[in-house]
């Protein structure tokens, strides 16, 4: 596992680099990842708008900030993502905000489809669900991991799927509304909880 993580880190990007790569691909009519489709491009474009809004409006929860200021050991946070992922668009700006609250956190991002071995270590019910946050110590050993979505959002999708049999556009709309109403608080608190 450690060698796979270290290999991914060698090909990782800062948050800013990640955003530039995704934006450039969109300007070329492409999405990130191996698969290309009009739908994935459309989701990527929507996510660009969402992320820009969140980057301007998100506020760090005071309790979360206090916990982060007490973080004494250096950590690397490695996030597995893709530009077309709706959950990633909601969660990455939160992870960035959290990481900026502590000088002991170094945030790195990798693309899922470029890191098959890595994502296969962190499957969710057998699926390559993203985003995934890997919290690593100074020696790049895995401390903990989190993702792909906070508990409330996860439960919303589970219930919707149980009632309707599929995750359709109505489910995706309900999920985006959940994220909007939550204002990132659940994600912040869940991530900080795995650090303790």
Rounded to the nearest angstrom, the gap between the alpha carbon of residue 40 and the centroid of all alpha carbons in its chain is: 17
Most distant pair of Cα atoms in the chain: their distance:
46
Residue by residue, DSSP assigns 2-69 as HHHHHHHHHT-B-HHHHHHHHHHHHHTT--SSS---HHHHHHHHHHHHHHHHHHHH----HHHHHHHH
Is 136 exposed, middle or buried, given 0-12, 13-18 or 19+ CB atoms closer than 10 A? buried
Q: How far apart are alpha carbons 158 and 137 in whole angstroms? A: 33
Q: What is the pLDDT along the chain (196 residues), one digit of tens a residue?
A: 999 999 999 999 999 999 999 999 999 999 999 999 999 999 999 999 999 999 999 999 999 999 999 899 999 999 999 999 999 999 999 999 999 999 999 999 999 999 999 999 999 999 999 999 999 999 999 999 999 999 999 999 999 999 999 999 999 999 999 999 999 999 999 999 998 6
Residue with tokens 């691909």: 25
Whole-structure pTM value: 0.95
């Amino acid at each position: 596992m450690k060698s796979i993580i270290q290999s991914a880190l060698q090909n990782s990007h800062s948050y800013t680099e990640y955003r530039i790569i995704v934006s450039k691909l969109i300007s070329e009519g492409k999405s990130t990842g191996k698969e290309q489709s009009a739908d994935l491009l459309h989701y990527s474009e929507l996510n660009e708008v969402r992320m820009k809004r969140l980057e301007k409006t998100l506020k760090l929860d005071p309790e979360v900030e206090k916990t982060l200021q007490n973080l004494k050991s250096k950590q690397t946070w490695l996030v597995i993502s893709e530009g077309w992922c709706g959950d990633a668009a909601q969660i990455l700006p939160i992870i960035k905000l959290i990481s900026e609250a502590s000088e002991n956190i170094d945030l790195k991002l990798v693309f899922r489809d470029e890191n098959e071995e890595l994502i296969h270590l962190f499957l969710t019910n057998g699926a390559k669900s993203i985003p995934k946050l890997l919290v690593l110590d100074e020696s790049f050993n895995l401390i903990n991991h989190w993702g792909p979505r906070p508990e409330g959002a996860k439960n919303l999708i589970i219930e919707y799927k149980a009632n309707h049999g599929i995750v359709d556009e109505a489910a995706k709309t309900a999920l985006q509304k959940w994220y909007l109403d939550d204002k990132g608080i659940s994600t912040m608190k869940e991530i900080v909880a795995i650090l303790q």
